[in-house]
Amino acid sequence: MAPMGIRLSPLGMAVFCLLGLGVLYHLYSGFLAGRFAFFMLSEPAAGGPEAPRSSAPAGAVDLRELLAVSVLAAVRGGEEVKRVREGNVLNEKAKGKTREGAEEKLTSGDLLSNRKMFYLLKGAFPGVQINSEEHVDAADQETVSWDRSIPEDIKKKIQPKEVPAESVTVWIDPLDATQEYTEDLRQYVTTMVCVAVNGKPVIGVIHKPFSAYTVWAMVDGGSNVKARSSYNEKTPRIIVSRSHAGKVEQVARQTFGNKTVIIPAGGAGYKVLALLDVAEKNQEEADVYIHVTYIKKWDICAGNAVLRALGGHMTTLAGEEISYTGSDGNEGGLIASINMNHKALIEKLPNLEKTSRK
C-alpha cells in the first residue's frame, strides 16, 4: 500500500507565514526598544541628571536666556562680595600695578564672586567664550546650575532672539571698585556681566550687592531702567575716577566754565548708573562720564550696553566705537553720555584725548 501524501493548501501556508512574521516582529521590536531605552537612560549617567536644555538649536544662543542667566550670575556673585565684606575676611593682597603705578588689589570677594559667576555662565552656555577679570582655576571648579527659568519682567519685555554661539563673547567683572571695597566704600561696588555679539555690546547687567539693586538692558529689546530727563549741556556735572579728578577738572572748566561740577567716584559701573534714573539713595547724578586713561573692557562693557539700549553713547575720547573682541584693554579713554549731543561733547574737549595718551 503506497504512503499517503500530505498536501497543504495555499491558505494554510499563508496563515503559517503570517504567524511566523508576527513572532519575529515581537521578539525584535522588544529587543530594540529595550536597547533604545537603555541608551537614553544611561546617557546622562556620567554627569548626573540632565539639566533642561535651551530652546535654541545646536550652535545657537538665545539672548533672552543669556540675559536671564547674566542677571542671576551678577546677583550670585554679589552675594559672595557682600558676605566677604560683612565678614571682614577680605584676605587683601596686591596683584600688580596699573600703568600709572597705582597698586591693584585682590580680595577673597573678587575670587569667590568670579568663581560663582564664571561657572554659572559656563554651565548654562558651555559653547560661549567668557572673559573674566580674575583667573579661573580649573582645580577650584564649582558646579553652579541654572534651571533656565526666566524672570517675569524679562519675559514681558524681551522676545527670544537667537544668534550663533561663536559670535558671542561674555565679559565678567566679578567686583568692580576693589580699591573702594577694601576701604569699605560700599556704594561704589558693583558686579557686572556684559554680552557682546560680533564685538558690539548688546546685553548689560550692573548689580549693587549692598543694596540688592540691579539694572539690566538689551539693545533692541528692553530694560528695567530709564535715562534721566534733566541735563545741562552747557555746565555739565562730570563724573570721573577719584584718582583722575585733577586731570579732568582743569580741562573741563576751561571748556564749560567755572560752574562745571566734577564728581570724583569709584567704579565704572557706579559712574554709568550716575547717568541713569535709578532708585538709589546713595547714587550720585551726573551728565557725563569721562575716563582719561587705559581701562579694561570688563569694566566698561556692561555700562556701554546699557547706554546703547537706552539711546546713549560710550566711545573713546576721540569718538571711536569700542570693540569688545580681541585684547582686554581700551587704550583711548572714554566719554559716555545719554540724551546729549555726544559728538558736540567730544568736539568741546579735544585736549582730553591728548591727556589720555600721557
193-217 pLDDT, tens per residue? Answer: 999 999 999 999 999 999 999 999 9
Asked if residue 50 has pLDDT above 50, the reply is: no
- Give the span between the Cα atoms of 236 and 247, in whole angstroms: 16
Task: Choose between 66 and 231: higher pLDDT.
Answer: 66
Contact present, 297 and 330 (Cβ < 8 Å):
yes
Average pLDDT, the chain: 84
Helix extents (H) in 51-177: 63-87, 108-124, 152-157
163-175 pLDDT, tens per residue? Answer: 999 999 999 999 9
Asked if residue 85 has pLDDT above 80, the reply is: yes
Length of the chain: 358
If pLDDT is split at 50, 70 and 90, which confidence band does 241 have? Answer: very high
Q: Write down which residue in 223, 251, 273 finishes a domain.
A: 223
Answer yes or no: is 121 within a domain.
Answer: yes
Q: Are residues 164 and 313 in the same domain?
A: no
Answer yes or no: is 330 within a domain.
Answer: yes
Q: Which residues are catalytic?
A: 110, 178
Q: Are residues 216 and 71 in the same domain?
A: yes
Lowest-pLDDT choice from 9-13, 41-45, 272-276, 324-328: 41-45
Lowest-pLDDT choice from 73-87, 99-113, 119-133, 235-249: 99-113
Q: Are residues 310 and 339 in the same domain?
A: yes
Q: Are residues 66 and 199 in the same domain?
A: yes
- Give the span between the Cα atoms of 21 and 14, in whole angstroms: 11
Task: Choose between 118 and 244: higher pLDDT.
Answer: 118
Q: Are residues 269 and 314 in the same domain?
A: yes
Q: Are residues 246 and 136 in the same domain?
A: no
Q: Write down which residue in 178, 198, 223 finishes a domain.
A: 223
Q: Are residues 300 and 264 in the same domain?
A: yes
Asked if residue 242 has pLDDT above 50, the reply is: yes
Q: Are residues 216 and 310 in the same domain?
A: no
Query: What average pLDDT does range 311-327 have in this prediction?
Result: 95
Answer yes or no: is 37 within a domain.
Answer: no
Task: Choose between 215 and 14: higher pLDDT.
Answer: 215
Range of the domain at 116: 60-223
Query: What average pLDDT does range 175-188 have in this prediction?
Result: 97
**Per-residue confidence (pLDDT) for residue 17, from 0 to 100:** 58
Q: Could you tell me which residues are beta bridge partners of residue 27? A: none
**Per-residue confidence (pLDDT) for residue 144, from 0 to 100:** 78
- In percent, the amount of the chain with pLDDT more than 70 equals 79
Q: End-to-end alpha-carbon separation of the chain, Å?
A: 125
Q: Which residue, 177, 119, 127, is CA-closest to 296?
A: 177
CB-based burial label for 167 (10 Å; 0-12, 13-18, 19+): middle
**Per-residue confidence (pLDDT) for residue 354, from 0 to 100:** 58
Answer yes or no: is 159 within a domain.
Answer: yes
Q: Are residues 168 and 262 in the same domain?
A: no
Lowest-pLDDT choice from 19-23, 67-71, 248-252, 299-303: 19-23
Q: Which three cell numbers stand for residue 274?
A: 550716575
Asked if residue 102 has pLDDT above 80, the reply is: no
Q: Are residues 163 and 254 in the same domain?
A: no
**Per-residue confidence (pLDDT) for residue 231, from 0 to 100:** 79
| DSSP per-residue codes, 308-342 | HHTT-EEE-TTSPBPP-SSSSEE-S-EEEESSS-H
**Per-residue confidence (pLDDT) for residue 27, from 0 to 100:** 43
Eight-class DSSP state of 235: S
Q: Could you tell me the pTM of the whole model?
A: 0.82
Answer yes or no: is 348 within a domain.
Answer: yes
Answer yes or no: is 217 within a domain.
Answer: yes
- Give the span between the Cα atoms of 143 and 275, in whole angstroms: 36
**Per-residue confidence (pLDDT) for residue 22, from 0 to 100:** 56
Asked if residue 293 has pLDDT above 50, the reply is: yes
Q: Write down which residue in 165, 193, 223 finishes a domain.
A: 223
**Per-residue confidence (pLDDT) for residue 51, from 0 to 100:** 42
Total domains present in the chain = 2
Q: Are residues 96 and 198 in the same domain?
A: yes
Answer yes or no: is 48 within a domain.
Answer: no
Query: What average pLDDT does range 144-165 have in this prediction?
Result: 94
Q: Are residues 265 and 149 in the same domain?
A: no
Answer yes or no: is 250 within a domain.
Answer: yes
